[in-house]
Amino acid sequence: MTTQVMPLNVPSSAPYISVIIPVFNEEENLEELGERLVRTLDGMNRAYEIILVDDGSSDRSWELLTQLHQQHPQVIRALQFHRNFGQHQAIFAGFQAARGQVMVTLDADLQNPPEEIPRLVAKLEEGFDTVGGWRENRQDSIFRKFPSFLINQVMSRVTGVKLRDYGCMLRAYRREVIDSINQCHESSSFIPALANLFSRKVAEIPVGHAERGRGQSKYSLLKLLRLNVDFMTGFSNFPIHLVGVLGICIALLGVAFGAFLFLRRLFVGPEVEGVFTLFAILFVFVGLNTFALALVGEYVGRIYREVRGRPRFVIRQTLGPETSLTKN
Ligand code: UDP
Ligand code: MG
């Protein structure tokens, strides 16, 4: 499929590009972000809209978004969540509100340069369904990069979703991919992986990456871990298979050990030494058992969350044209 994505069948009022940005306590960055986005997108000579989703910020972010909207009422829209629902939920809300044929996601902290958007869109127009960016010169500390490296390795093996850089949210998608994503109502998900499921042709291009100039990362190690456990259990049953195989191996080892002890009893006679070794082995088994139970619990918890079917996010107010945001 190499059809060009052209704004032919789009009514003139509808934007061609929708840029979607989650915002959580980013007051230091919003002014510059708005300015650089508008400048870049103006330069593309395509109808566009920018959707900023305030993920329950407690600082002046919403005030600044309101100002941005007032400065550029034609192109800047804003949604405000009732409380913090998470980066991916914010992007989901943005996807539902977006009207463009091409959608671009971006972080608000200016670590992903908005100036890369034209390159992503150009690549998409070569006939790809999704274009992901990977951070060529990632400007994060080693404490952030090393876990990411491990996560990238584990994730691509475990989930079978091959992405060069899972954490990079500077990505462009065709409308069709987002339409499919909008039909998924799972309560926690990982957008780049989900998009891959619905894309036939995926391209990845290197993109610039800047150090976070202002503000703090909104991800603690725990929150990052949570996101990745969600990703892993949401896209794969591999962890449960692994524990199963491990269980079988340990049981076999246990049988072998039992046989060994039995033979010693026959040939060496009764002995009590080594009772602490047995304790150590027992602890390993108990630990593994608990781990396995927790893992099953993780999947059960996931099912429970889905079955409850609570709304994934609640929107307090919107600025700019309303779009139906009924099913979330
Ligand atoms: N973010 C969000 N909700 C959250 C956490 C983060 O909307 O609960 C937004 C944040 O404002 C930023 C993007 O998600 O636009 C990425 O967050 P951050 O830069 O803190 O992550 P990092 O770059 O450290 O991975
Ligand atoms: Mg960041």
* 177-233 confidence digits (pLDDT tens): 999 999 988 877 889 988 988 999 999 999 998 888 888 888 888 888 888 888 888
Q: Which ligand 1 atom sits closest to the C-alpha of 90?
A: 7
d(CA 129, CA 88): 20
Looking at the chain, the whole-number percentage of residues with pLDDT higher than 70 is 94
Q: Which residue puts its alpha carbon closest to atom 3 of ligand 1? A: 87
Residues 6+ apart with CB under 8 A from 328: 92, 93, 96, 185, 311, 312, 313
Low-confidence stretches of the chain (pLDDT beneath 50): 1-12, 326-327
pTM exceeds 0.75 for this model: yes
Ligand 1 centre from 9 Cα, in Å?
A: 34
For the Cβ of 165 lying below 6 angstroms from any atom of ligand 1, the answer is no
Ligand 2 centre from 301 Cα, in Å?
A: 29
For the Cβ of 109 lying below 6 angstroms from any atom of ligand 1, the answer is yes
> pLDDT at position 2, please?
41
- pLDDT tens-digit profile of 64-81? 999 999 999 999 999 999
For residues 173 and 184, the answer to whether their CB atoms sit within 8 Å is no
Q: Which two tokens stand for residue 126?
A: 């070569």
d(CA 145, CA 147): 6
| Residue that has been written with the tokens 């794969």 in this structure | 236
3 state SS of 77? strand
Q: Which ligand is nearest to the CA of 217?
A: 1
